[in-house]
Amino acid sequence: MKVADARDYALLRKTLLERFQITAETYRQRFRNTRKENADSYKEFITQISLFLDRWVEMSNIGESFDDFKDLILTEQVYESMPTELVTYVKDRKPNSIDDVIDTVTLYEENRPKENRRHGKKPEERGHKAAHGTNSTNKDKDEGNKSRTSVKCFRCGKLGHFKKDCRQPPKDESASAAFQDENDVEGNATHDQLCDKCVHKKFTKLSQIVVEGQVVTAFRDTGSTSTIVDSKLVPASKITTRTKETSLAKKSVKEKLSVAHVYMDTPYFVGETEVSVMENPVHPVLIGNSMGVGSEKIETPVYPVRETVIPETTATAVTRGQEKREEEGNASIPSFPMEGKIFTVADLKREQQDDKSLEKLHVLARTNVTRGRVQFIYDKDVLYRQYSDKQGKDHRQVVVPHKMRAKVLSTGHDTAMSGHLGQKKSRERIWQDFFWPGIVGDIKRYCSSCDVCQRTMPKGRTRKVPLGKMPLIETPFKRVAVDIVGPIKPMSETKKQYILVMVDFATRYPEAVALKDIKAETVADALWTFWTRLGLPEEVLTDNGAQFTSELMTQVNQLLAIKGLTTSPWHPQCNGVVERFNGTLKAMLKKMTFEQPTKWDQYLPALLFAYREVPQDSLGFSPFELLYGRTVRGPMQVLRQLWTEEESNDEIRTTAEHVIDLRNRIEETCKIARDHLAKSAIRQAHFYDKKTKKRELIVGTRVLLLLPTKHNKLELAWKGPYVIEEKINSFDYKIKVGRQTRVYHINLLREYHEREMIAEPEKLPEEVVEQSAIVVEDLEEQDDEIFANMGPDPSILIPSTKRTENEKDVHVADTLTARQQREVRDACTEFSASLTDVPKATTLEICNIKMTDDRPVYVKPRPIPHALVDVVEREVKEMLDLKVIEPATSPYNAPIVIVKKAQGKAVRFCNDFREANKVIENDAEPITDVEHLFSELADARYFSKLDLTKGYWAIPIKEEDRDKTAFTTSLGQMRWINMPFGLKTAGSVFNRMMRKLLGPLNRKDVYHFMDDILIATATWEQHIEAIKAVLKALKDANLAAKPSKCYFGYEQLQYLGHEIGRGKRWPVDDKVDKIQKAQPPTTKKELRAFLGLTGFYRIYVPAYSSIAAPLTDKTKKQEPEKVKWTPACQVAFDTLKAKLAEQPIIQMPDHTLPYILRTDASDKGMGAVLLQDKGEGLQPIAYASKKLSETEQKYATVEKECLATVWGIQKFERYLYGRHFILETDHQPLQYLQRMKPTNARLMRWALQLQPYVFTVKIIPGKDNIGADYLSRATMN
């Protein structure tokens, strides 16, 4: 409304009342229906209904005379005696007096035949009359109507029918169908008559919609049973041969109209739907009462509904109930999706040729390449994938191009004949006839994003999160938990049916009282009674009941300085202290009141005493002991005294002594109880967390919410999706549901996967690799199912039981002289027993598996891919022959996992010990520091390396611990004799064995990292001596090195992913080539793989962290799974590739030469570079850079420079500690750092941190401090 009108109170009030649909009828119903409440006095009640009467009279716009008021009362009484449709008809004419009502009713009766009139009897009276008819069906139906006289309609407020049967339209809808006429349309009106009458009428509720790409005007017709579209808007190809009967004007007019399927974009629904086609309707589109059309704000999708086809012949009149049942019984169920384009063979051939993702397959088909039992062929120019199963039977799969895959997925999962089965079943159904690259992933994503499957998924399928830690309350009655039990049936003799329960967190002391009602006033009075005896608590934890969140309770809490805490909705576990007591209390009441159930309230005090007297499981003491510091005299003590006539010998003490003793006793008892409670919480969480999973949701994510249904609060269903607006903590999230924003626990939430269109693939990778549905691959492998499942069997990497390699298979450097090569060969021949590909068992170390829990860890076996079953069986037999496993009967079980290796099709046999690892004790044996290892190789000229043959399998497992490694195969249960892959402590045990193997040699030129042994010496004499020493140690320990992985006498060698030699190291060319060929990642998984590969070589890239910052930011939890690629990401991506393409080289540190450290700081970052001069000028040893935090950016310049110095020295402490070094900087004040006076506290602290180091500060020009300066400013650039 206008600003000027808003200043008029009367006009503003009238506008607001109209806006909120508060009319005279509203106040009339309030006047008639208001009843006196128990808490109200009659004076208050009369004042209230008088106000309603005044408002009713005022808004009825009648005069102030008695006759006007009489007309109002008479009109109301007449309305009560009229049928609903007549009342609606009269009210639409807005009569001003009782005479106007009489005239309108008379006109209504004159315009209708007598047989169509409905006389002014109540619905129940009409039903009673019909019950005496001859129709048996109606008689049976109307017999039930006798019990519905007390039923009240929630729409019109009258008795005798439900809202769904009410003939009065909602207040926000039109009473007529597509028009409003002064006379109802005749029941036998024709289509032409209907259209003629519609021409001159005034239409409402118009909106612009889209029909088959055309923008037209639509009218919301509440009287039509279907959506009607002008025939001019419907293409002929969209019209079917079916017809159906469509009701207009509130079913007073019926037309047989043709049926069509058209695409519509409306405020009510979007998509292809079924409509009726009419010639020249009043509006281009009439949106009727189709399924889901009610409000313009529909949150859930509306799907097209096929209506009943009405036969050409008509039948005798039937009741509405019979008509409804007949329609429901005849409704057809769409069993096959007819929507979308129907593809032909020509379309298939054309799309196969145009699809870029199938180019590789076309090449394989044209060249007749066969891989195992799989090949690609053409048949009548259609591309097929042909494979043979284990029985030798051939199968053909149509290779589906990209544009046709959505149709296959929909047909294989969504239709009635597909049944919305899970991923595996859907995959097996589609796999029988169709194939395309990436089919497994597409089916998985399609099924997981199915809206129907997500909404109907059982609530138990969503794993709960681990238990959170509740604070341990030490002070009695500092925090209490309050809840209400009831209503209890039967009601007690004193008319009480609820129990108010309060439990103290510290002592578990319970209080309970029976209540007649649970109004806020009643609950507040009962709580006040508790608190006057026990003291006022600081915190009160309740659920979200209205009595606890009411304004009255809020004021009580404010008055008494109590902090009110509430649980998240539908998550009673948060208030588990009182909920658990509620269960105990109800169980005791049920047993004690078996004979006198109406006297349950009289048993409450005795049952509370019984609970308070016995020790509480979590605390170890009874609530009485924790509250009073002594054991309360109960029935057991009385019985004992009666039998033994013992007398208590209480020590006589002063009051002060008694108080001090009592306080000490209570404090000591509470301390013990607190410790007991902490241990109990850990134990209970351990059991609970076994079936949980850590989950975290991101703000902005769409989720489904598990809420009770409208009919039964104990029946839960998934609703939504809704959007997460805020994360409160690790467990609670703020969700907007409708207009309300509430906090819900994560156990009630599940991420909603929205269906996305299948991404348009580019070309397949050049090399075709294998994949199986449950086989785990290294990150470097590409996903491709071209030769998966039914294809050739991959080989599992298991050592042969027979020796296939010997000392002749080792690699000897060609750069060695003939004499040197002969010396190496002679050494290998001498210790040939240690050079074999058959694993051995050593006695140097034994694997102990110590667990924190003695209960067996059993994990259900997982199915093995069909293509790997025979292979796994074969390899299990070979491992039995190798004596690394043996048959077992064990309560433990760890499933088998097949892990692909990056080198090709070979895979590694492993077990999934993740559940067992949770209870296996840690092993503190340190792992070799790789950077320290490289720092010792500066002077080395000759390098050799040896790789042990299945080093893990060389370590036996302690006899009593072998059952803990059991696993299930098709040949029965097995257990490991020697140490397997996957155990948490396996790496530490193996490293300890290597230390025992090489430690006694006392050689500083022999190193190892896990099973990779490195020999690095400056002279050949030292080198051949070290080779013999290592081979002899292997022989003595009964260990073996694999000959094909042994390299001797090289001056340049690849070790741990680096090329080393001549005092330098640089990246491996193969890895750099992979980085150069990498494409921009599209998902977080791909991005992490790229960062993992480049991060491995970060030591070669100055300011790596600053350059890669835009990419690492995309891996944060709050970022979407699909990477949003930005220009900054592309720059970082290209820069990292370019830096590594420059073949960076860094020097290995020489500990005999001095180190030079250069540091610098800028506004945003700081950098440091470690240098050495080996006669060729200063060369970099290592780079380091770091962003400044927001606080550090505010430091003064001298503080930033000093911070860079302190950080740089600590970063390279392993090189600088205990040695004199030179600190070069372009900031002159730093030269006074060692002799400054303590004027700045921060600088003084840093100066003290540098006291253990010996260095000289050298000031250099800024132009010479290029390295550190670049590192510090890389963040800004």
CATH architecture of 702-751: Roll (2.30)
* CB-based contacts of 1086, cutoff 8 Å, min separation 6: 1123
Q: What is the Cα–Cα distance from 1261 to 1263, expressed in whole angstroms? A: 5
Provide, rounded to the nearest whole percent, the portion of the chain with pLDDT above 90: 2
* CB-based contacts of 251, cutoff 8 Å, min separation 6: 223, 225
Mean pLDDT (the chain, rounded): 73
Query: Which tokens sit at 234?
Result: 């419907």
Q: What is the Cα–Cα distance from 1154 to 1151, expressed in whole angstroms? A: 7
* CB-based contacts of 904, cutoff 8 Å, min separation 6: none
pLDDT at 989 over 80: yes
Q: pLDDT value at position 1277? A: 42
Dihedral-angle region of residue 117 (phi above 0 means left; psi in -120 to 50 means alpha; beta otherwise): beta
* CB-based contacts of 339, cutoff 8 Å, min separation 6: 261, 272
Query: Which tokens sit at 127?
Result: 């039903």
Contact indicator for 984, 917 with CB cutoff of 8 Å: yes
Higher pLDDT: 204 or 821? It is 821
Would you say the C-alpha torsion 1147, 1148, 1153, 1157 has a positive or negative sign?
A: positive
Q: What is the Cα–Cα distance from 527 to 557, expressed in whole angstroms? A: 11
Higher pLDDT: 308 or 1238? It is 1238
Q: What is the dihedral of CA 362, 364, 370, 372, to 10 degrees?
A: -80
Q: pLDDT value at position 715? A: 56
Higher pLDDT: 846 or 98? It is 846
From 3.30.830.10, 2.60.40.1250, 2.40.70.10, 2.60.40.1180, which CATH number describes the 191-312+320-330 domain? 2.40.70.10
Q: pLDDT value at position 1228? A: 64
8-state DSSP, 482 = E
Extended strands (E) in 656-809: 702-708, 716-727, 732-737, 740-745, 749-751
CA separation, residue 88 to residues 119, 288, 503, 576 (Å) = 14, 20, 57, 54
Give residue-wise pLDDT tens across range 882-922.
888 899 888 899 988 876 654 445 566 778 888 888 888 88
Q: What is the Cα–Cα distance from 199 to 252, expressed in whole angstroms? A: 18
Q: What would the CATH number be for the domain defined by 807-841+854-950+961-1062?
A: 3.30.70.270
Q: What is the Cα–Cα distance from 1273 to 962, expressed in whole angstroms? A: 57
Lowest mean pLDDT of 164-168, 545-549, 656-660, 696-700, name the range.
Answer: 656-660
- CA-based R_g, the chain, Å: 42
Q: What is the Cα–Cα distance from 402 to 434, expressed in whole angstroms? A: 12
Contact indicator for 210, 191 with CB cutoff of 8 Å: no
Give residue-wise pLDDT tens across range 203-224.
346 777 888 878 888 887 777 7
- Highest-pLDDT range among 515-524, 629-638, 777-786: 515-524
Q: What is the Cα–Cα distance from 541 to 534, expressed in whole angstroms? A: 17
Dihedral-angle region of residue 863 (phi above 0 means left; psi in -120 to 50 means alpha; beta otherwise): beta
Give residue-wise pLDDT tens across range 62-96.
766 777 777 777 777 777 777 877 877 777 777 77
3-class state of residue 509 by DSSP? coil
Question: Which of 359, 458, 212 lies closest to 766, judged by CA?
Answer: 359
Q: What is the Cα–Cα distance from 98 to 72, expressed in whole angstroms? A: 8
What residue has token string 């990477």?
Answer: 1123
CATH architecture of 479-646+655-669: 2-Layer Sandwich (3.30)
Q: What is the Cα–Cα distance from 691 to 915, expressed in whole angstroms? A: 11
Starting at the edge strand that comes first in sequence, how are the strands of the sheet with 749-751 ordered?
740-745, 732-737, 716-727, 702-708, 749-751
Q: pLDDT value at position 483? A: 85
What residue has token string 């001159």?
Answer: 200
Q: pLDDT value at position 303? A: 37
Q: What is the Cα–Cα distance from 253 to 188, expressed in whole angstroms? A: 7
Q: What is the Cα–Cα distance from 302 to 1216, expressed in whole angstroms? A: 71
Provide, rounded to the nearest whole percent, the portion of the chain with pLDDT above 70: 70
* CB-based contacts of 772, cutoff 8 Å, min separation 6: 788, 789, 794, 865, 867, 868, 898
* Residues belonging to the chain: 1277
What residue has token string 């494409």?
Answer: 1079
Q: What is the DSSP string of 857-919?
A: -B-PPPPPPHHHHHHHHHHHHHHHHHTSEEE---S-B--EEEEE-TTSS-EEEEE--HHHHTT
Q: How confident is the model at residue 1047 (pLDDT cuts 50, 70, 90)?
A: very high
From 3.40.50.720, 1.10.4020.10, 3.10.450.50, 1.10.287.810, which CATH number describes the 3-165 domain? 1.10.4020.10
pLDDT at 178 over 60: no
What residue has token string 């005496």?
Answer: 132
Lowest mean pLDDT of 123-127, 839-843, 1053-1057, name the range.
Answer: 123-127
CA separation, residue 725 to residues 704, 735, 748 (Å) = 14, 6, 16
- Highest-pLDDT range among 22-36, 474-488, 809-823: 809-823
CA separation, residue 1037 to residues 844, 928, 1044 (Å) = 7, 21, 21
Can you list the alpha helix ranges (DSSP code H) found in 1004-1141? 1020-1036, 1069-1077, 1084-1095, 1104-1107, 1109-1113, 1127-1141
pLDDT at 135 over 80: no
Q: What is the Cα–Cα distance from 178 to 198, expressed in whole angstroms? A: 8
Starting at the edge strand that comes first in sequence, how are the strands of the sheet with 1064-1067 ordered?
1053-1055, 1058-1061, 1064-1067, 1146-1147
Q: What would the CATH number be for the domain defined by 1067-1141?
A: 3.30.70
Q: How confident is the model at residue 458 (pLDDT cuts 50, 70, 90)?
A: low
| Cα maximum dimension of the chain | 134
Other CB atoms within 10 A of residue 645 CB: 7
Q: Is it true that 479-646+655-669 and 1146-1273 share their CATH fold?
A: yes
Q: pLDDT value at position 944? A: 92
Q: What is the Cα–Cα distance from 1096 to 1093, expressed in whole angstroms? A: 5
8-state DSSP, 600 = G
Q: What is the Cα–Cα distance from 812 to 1046, expressed in whole angstroms? A: 9
pLDDT at 194 over 50: no
Q: What is the Cα–Cα distance from 1222 to 1153, expressed in whole angstroms? A: 12
Q: pLDDT value at position 315? A: 41
pLDDT at 774 over 60: no
CA separation, residue 161 to residues 21, 84, 151, 152, 838 (Å) = 24, 11, 6, 6, 86
Please give the backbone phi and psi of residue 956, each rounded to the nearest 5 degrees, phi first. Answer: -75, 155
Domain ranges of the chain: 3-165, 191-312+320-330, 479-646+655-669, 702-751, 807-841+854-950+961-1062, 1067-1141, 1146-1273
Helix %, strand %, coil % for the chain, to 5? 40, 20, 40
Q: What is the Cα–Cα distance from 225 to 222, expressed in whole angstroms? A: 8
Q: What is the Cα–Cα distance from 797 to 981, expressed in whole angstroms? A: 13
Q: What is the Cα–Cα distance from 265 to 268, expressed in whole angstroms? A: 8
CATH superfamily of domain region 1146-1273: Ribonuclease H-like superfamily/Ribonuclease H (3.30.420.10)
8-state DSSP, 356 = G
Question: Which of 1188, 1126, 1124 lies closest to 1162, judged by CA?
Answer: 1188
